[in-house]
Amino acid sequence: MTIWVGIDPGSVSGAVAGLYDNGDYLDSFEIIHQDKHVLPMVLKNMILRLIDPKEGGEICCELVHSMPNQGVASTFQFGRAVGVITAVCELSRYPFHLVSPVKWKKHYHLSSDKGEALDMARMLWPEAKLTLKKHIGRAEALLIAEYWRTQVKGLENAKTPSK
């Protein structure tokens, strides 16, 4: 049985989520940071808490880039966070993959409106307790994990509701 981990990276708003092999909700949480710096050992332990070494896992992270009109300091901070997150995932020794937001959002027929992703994740995993607007990172991490699970397993829209 494989555990599917999705990551929505961010310097202060990133999140990690895990799904069981059948697509059921396992857990989700925000990435812990201190003074806007991701804590690598804490992130490593959070990921390893999701994946039972006897079972194995796959990690899929959103492939992000700098955005226009961002300041130099915030762009550097974001890039540093993404670098730490990527390094921790690579060093976990589990298969690590990147997916663009365009690709996984297209799979779910989502626009750039983050509220849509939150609503969909709430519908697919009601037990996830995505009650606050700030849980968008967790919601997107869940959708990324499910997207990757369907790609690897060759499933056609396994948890995707029809639109």
DSSP string of 16-65, one letter each residue:
EEEE-TTS-EEEEEEPPEETTEE-HHHHHHHHHHHS-TTT-EEEEEE---
Model's pTM, two decimal places?
0.90
Identify the helix (H) or strand (E) that includes residue 102.
helix 101-107
Residue with structure tokens 């990527």?
86
Q: What is the pLDDT of residues 52-90, one digit of tens each?
A: 888 899 999 999 876 677 778 777 878 888 889 999 999
Taken in order 118, 120, 122, 124, is the CA torsion positive or negative?
negative
Instruction: Provide Rg for the chain, Cα atoms.
Output: 15
At 114-155, the pLDDT tens digits run: 899 999 999 999 999 999 999 999 999 999 999 999 998 887
